[in-house]
Amino acid sequence: MLPNQDSGQICKILIIDDELTTRLILKKKLEDEQYQVQVANNGQEGIVIAQKFDPDLIICDWMMPLLNGLEVCQKIKADPQLDGTFFILLTGREEVSDRVTGLDSGADEFLCKPIDINELKARVRAGLRISRLNRQLKATNEKLNLVNKQLNVRNELLQSLSMTDAMTGLLNRRALDQSLPHLLAQVGKRDGYQIHYRYICIFMMDVDYFKRVNDNYGHKIGDYVLKFLAQRLQANVRPNSSVYRYGGEEIVCVTQGIHPKNVLDYGESLRKAIADYPFKVSADLQLAITISLGGAIASDAHAFTPHDLLHQADLALYQAKHDGRNCVRFSSQAELLIKTHAGSS
């Protein structure tokens, strides 16, 4: 393997110089070393060729019309495709301040004119080694970024799965336990900087006589009923509502921003969405399913912990079952709020 080759790949060099003689001499000497060489006679042409040629190393004259070497270097280093390309600046300037200016532009190395060919070859070999390492590092970083993205996607999927009930597709109790404290923290008067809701309504729902479904038709049909019920509820909830499978046949709906004067109608709409349309299990079997709902309301004047709010909704659900099922009942505090706002515009 030749010293200018890496795993069979011939190294590519771009020469940018407005002097024809310099271009021809450098091209000939570098091609003698088995490099693949292209040339450009000005900075603008050099940038266009670089973007297509993707060289491993660029040799560029400092003093050129249109774009000088510093400007070419800055544009090359600002290009994500070319930023790792080793850049050698040809210059007749020997002042330290000029070298500093060149380095600040992004140049990696300098060659003073008149050019010593042996020094040129040595600088090119060293520059190609660095360029190769830069490319390897860039490729490794890209692979690591890809792996990190894949891991993030996988973690998001696992997080989503851990928060989702596999059978119904609803959020699960763990998701409710994590989200409800944050939702309740948004209950309050608007302060002009953050969005707050004056009210949050929570419904605890339970499928009436669900044990009979399992006993009479089997758990497979029971699972179907829960899955279809979840879909129907999701299709009928208001904006700013989240629906969770709390456990067994119990489902919780949390709605932000709903006014107390509207909660009774909302609860009734959910009840009717289930009760008014039998569940068609098969061509020969339709089941009349109903739900009981217990509601509670958190407000800026009546704050609750998540546990207490759920407990209030659960007590209201118990009352709905006691009153014959297939109905909506509210906690005493929620009923008072509803009556206070009844008829308000």
Q: Where are the alpha helices (DSSP H) in 164-287?
A: 173-184, 210-217, 219-236, 260-275
Phi first, then psi, for residue 237 (nearest 5°) are -75, 160
CB–CB of 276/204 below 8 Å? no
Give the distance from CA 275 to its chain's centroid.
40
CATH number corresponding to 173-341: 3.30.70.270
Q: Give the model's pLDDT for residue 343.
A: 65
Q: Whole-prediction pTM value?
A: 0.57
142 is catalytic: no
d(CA 342, CA 339): 5
CA distances (Å), origin 22, targets 19, 27, 71, 322:
5, 8, 20, 99
Where are the domains positioned within the chain? Answer: 5-140, 173-341
Q: Taking a C-beta distance cutoff of 8 angstroms, is the pair 66, 43 a contact? A: yes
Catalytic residue among 249, 250, 268, 335: 249
For residues 295 and 328, give the distance between their C-alpha atoms in angstroms, rounded to a whole number.
Answer: 7
With 0-12 CB in 10 A as exposed, 13-18 as middle and 19+ as buried, what is 47?
buried
| Mean pLDDT, the chain cut into blocks of 10 residues (345 residues total) | 55 94 92 94 94 94 89 92 90 71 80 88 91 86 86 70 85 92 83 75 96 94 94 93 93 94 96 94 91 95 91 97 97 91 66
CATH topology of domain 5-140: Rossmann fold (3.40.50)
Q: Convert 120-182 into a string of H (helix), E (strand) and C (coil).
A: HHHHHHHHHHHHHHHHHHHHHHHHHHHHHHHHHHHHHHHHHHHCECCCCCCECHHHHHHHHHH
Q: Give the C-alpha distances (Å, rounded to integers) separating 270 from 43, 139, 293, 301.
A: 70, 55, 9, 27
Per-residue pLDDT at 303: 84
Sheet with strand 109-112: strands edge to edge: 36-40, 12-16, 57-61, 86-91, 109-112
Coil, helix or strand at residue 47: helix
- Report the distance separating Cα 88 and Cα 184, nearest Å: 62
